[in-house]
Amino acid sequence: MSVTRNKFSDVHEQRAVDEPLLDQGGGRNLGKRQIRHAVSPCRRCAARPLISLILIVKNGMPFIANAVDSVRKQGYDKLQLVVQDCLSEDGTSELLAGIQEIEVDLVREPDKGIGDAFSRALSRCRGQIVGSIDSDNLLHFGALHRVADHFARFPAEAVVYSAVEMIDETGVSLDIFRPGPFNLLRVLDCELVPPWSTAFFRRKVLAEAFHSGASLKTCADFSAWLHLGHSSIGYIDEPLGSTRLSNNSMSCRLDEYEQFCADKIEALSRYVATRKHEALRTALLLRGKVGIYCWAAGSIAGLDPTRKDLVQFFLGKARTIAPRSLRLARMAAKIEAYLAATLCGSGALV
């Protein structure tokens, strides 16, 4: 046991507890849950809600140290970092196991994809509020205080998300993405993609909404947003964090977009199956599929303007479903204008 002090808290007693879990095939620390507690939080912070941050990771180097550091610097005492590590082999596990300043609940085991990993971590969250921190993302200083204050001011809201800063591999700011307030139809059309990295949820609401998409390999966040559509959702038009665009970012992997679309369509199908009227189910499914393929085409055009073959592939899929779709017409025109602009170096797909 060690005792530490910092400028944000009174004395914190640190104790580590190892809880053996089911061994799923051998390996160092496999199936072992390590919980490192920080108890006796600052008395002046006692009224603040406990916030659980979920970190799902596999080989998070080299950026995970910066992500963890951004959590450390929050100065928010009532914090639980819940880590689901899919057998990292690059030093990530050792770095996470060595965190001392905050409470860490760490499990190192195989998983079946992002949805499964997040669901496992969510089941261990104790906080009234749940957010996430990816290994290559950052939380801005004071973000957790801002979130706690927001939920205190708007007790009826189940969720709040914010704008997000986009950064490159070196941390240089590229842009501020401001998605705007929540609108379920725009989410269904994939015109609105609320940033998961700067979204915070009341735990019970998230657990109920996430369940349907937990088995998806990717895009479980899309499923959750659909099922959260009936909730009161707030929006902060200032970035609470940064999302890093790098070759390691899943959204930058062009060869994954067919899987992304398949998972989004599966999530959409599960969601519309809960609607009572068959005509409504059919209309929502067709509209959503067109939106998903348009989203894929637009994303790929923005990432790599030279991949016109992939852009046209996904636009073609949308055109097969609804050739007269306004969503399709708008996206095709936007992509054409963007690709033309990139030839003279002034393109921006927005």
Q: What is the pLDDT of residues 177-208, one digit of tens each?
A: 999 999 999 999 999 999 999 999 999 999 99
| Under 8 Å between Cβ of 288 and 272 | yes
| Residues 50, 53: Cα–Cα separation, whole Å | 10
| Residues 337, 54: Cα–Cα separation, whole Å | 39
| Under 8 Å between Cβ of 135 and 57 | yes
Percent of the chain with pLDDT over 90: 80
The pLDDT value given to residue 268? 98
Is the confidence at residue 7, as pLDDT, over 50? no
Is the confidence at residue 102, as pLDDT, over 60? yes
Whether the CA torsion 305, 307, 311, 312 is positive or negative: it is positive
Of 247, 259, 251, 243, give the one whose Cα is nearest residue 135.
243
- Min mean pLDDT across 24-38, 42-56, 232-246, 271-285 is at 24-38
Residues forming CATH 3.90.550.10 domain(s) in the chain = 2-250
- Min mean pLDDT across 89-98, 120-129, 242-251, 257-266 is at 242-251
| Residues 166, 189: Cα–Cα separation, whole Å | 23
Q: Is 23 exposed, middle or buried (0-12, 13-18, 19+ CB in 10 A)?
A: exposed
Q: Which CATH number fits domain 2-250: 3.90.550.10, 3.40.50.2300, 3.40.50.300, 1.20.1250.20?
A: 3.90.550.10
Confidence of residue 347 (pLDDT cuts 50, 70, 90): low
DSSP states along 108-128: E---SSHHHHHHHHHTT---S
Q: If you average pLDDT over every residue of the chain, what do you get?
A: 88
